[in-house]
Structures are given as structure tokens and as C-alpha cells.
Amino acid sequence: MTGSYPGAQAAAYGPVAARAGTPSGPAAKDTEGPVKTLDGLMKALAAEHAAVFAYALIAARATGARKAAATAAYNAHRGRRDQLRGLIRARGGTPAEPEASYALPFTPRDSTEGARLAALVEDGVTAVYLELAACDDPATRRTAALAMQEAAARAYGFRPTIAALPGFPGPDPEATATTPGPTATLSTPSTPSTTATPS
């Protein structure tokens, strides 16, 4: 079965405040309650599964410093994935297993495309953790916030632009990216042609 990549999940779930149309304001505060912690953890785990899948492809096609960065990111996401599995089990839940493959925006053919995909993956992971940051468990909020910080820092390593409010809907970061390469089409993800199997 094919899963969706983290960005697609973020679009489906959306941040609490963003659903109110703005990243701030009384309307968002008053109309949106906390996210159920277990639900948020499950979604975050799905995003981490997809990120691990994507980075397996990215690392395989990268060279030099980007390969090292992709490998480090792959290991970091595996670490978060395992942490989330533990948190879900601690709450009596059953962690979902990864899908066999994930629908990525595109399949990277080289290091440059891999960097573009990596930045998009980190954007998606950031958005999913943003939802978890609104959960009803303070310790889990902290975990989500730290995961967002790591993801935003990694994204900068692959695409040297910074959003004022990572995770919230905003201008396409690639529109102002200094990294060369064509603009990604986030809204029309292609069907993956590769089915690499991350560990």
C-alpha cells in the first residue's frame, strides 16, 4: 500500500490555528480545542515513516556533503520514529507500521533534486508536528516543539531559506529559495516510481 508523504499529510490535517485562517487571533484560540495526544502522535509517526522512506531515496542518490547530510537526517528521523512508537505504546496505542511505499512529490534523480525533496519533507514534518504542539499533554508538546526545531534547521541545510512561521501555511519557500532548480509542484504529487525499502 502507498502512503502519503509528510507534506500531503500536513495539508490533510493542518495546524489548529491555520484552520481558523490565520496563525493567530482570538478566533483560533476560542474555536479550536487541544489535539488528542494519541491522535497527534499517530499522525506524527506516519509522517516520520514517510520521511524515513524519502531519505532512503535521497541518501541513495546523493553525493559528498549532501549524502552525509541526508544520512544524518535519515538517522534523525528514525530516532524520532522510534521515540514516537514508544510514546504511542505508553498511551496504550499500537504504532502503525510503515507503508510499502509513499507518494512523494517527485522521485529525486540526483543530489540537487534530493536536496529539494529533503526540504519539502522537512516542511511537511514540521507542519505535522505543529499540530502535535497543540495537544493536551505538556511533555508531548515539548517533544513536538523540539522536533520542529530540528526539522526547520535541517530544512535550512538543504534549502537556505527560513520562514518566519515554519509549519504554518505561507508563501512557497521554494519561490524565494536560493537553491537552483525548478519549482516543485506540491499540489500535484506524482506517483512514485521507486519503492525503496527503508529499514
Neighbour tally for 23: CB within 10 Å: 16
Query: How do strand 101-103 and strand 2-4 relate by DSSP bridges?
Result: parallel
The count of chain residues that interact with another protein, using the rule CB under 8 A, is: 45
Using rule CB under 8 A, residue 41 touches another protein: no
- The stretch among 53-61, 88-96, 112-120, 135-143 that binds another protein (CB under 8 A) is 135-143
Residue 3 CA to residue 94 CA, distance in Å, equals: 18
Using rule CB under 8 A, residue 15 touches another protein: yes
Using rule CB under 8 A, residue 42 touches another protein: no
Residue 130 CA to residue 168 CA, distance in Å, equals: 8
Of 115, 118, 128, 148, which one interacts with another protein (CB under 8 A)? 148
| DSSP secondary structure letters along 73-139 | HHHHHHHHHHHHHHHHHHTT--PPPPPSEEE-S----SHHHHHHHHHHHHHHHHHHHHHHTTBS-HH
Using rule CB under 8 A, residue 117 touches another protein: no
Backbone angles phi, psi at 11, to 5 degrees: -65, -35
CB of 25 to another protein, least distance (A): 6
Place of cell 521554494: 174
- The stretch among 1-9, 27-35, 97-105, 108-116 that binds another protein (CB under 8 A) is 27-35
What number of CA atoms fall less than 13 Å from residue 119's CA on the CB side? Answer: 25
Using rule CB under 8 A, residue 96 touches another protein: no
What string marks each residue from 151 to 180 as x (binds another protein by CB under 8 A) or -? xxx-xxx--x-xxxxxxx------------
Backbone angles phi, psi at 35, to 5 degrees: -80, 140
> Would you say 25 or 86 has its CB closer to another protein?
25
CB of 116 to another protein, least distance (A): 17
- The residues binding another protein (CB under 8 A) are 15-17, 20, 23-26, 28-29, 32-35, 126, 129-131, 133-135, 138-139, 141-142, 144-146, 148-153, 155-157, 160, 162-168
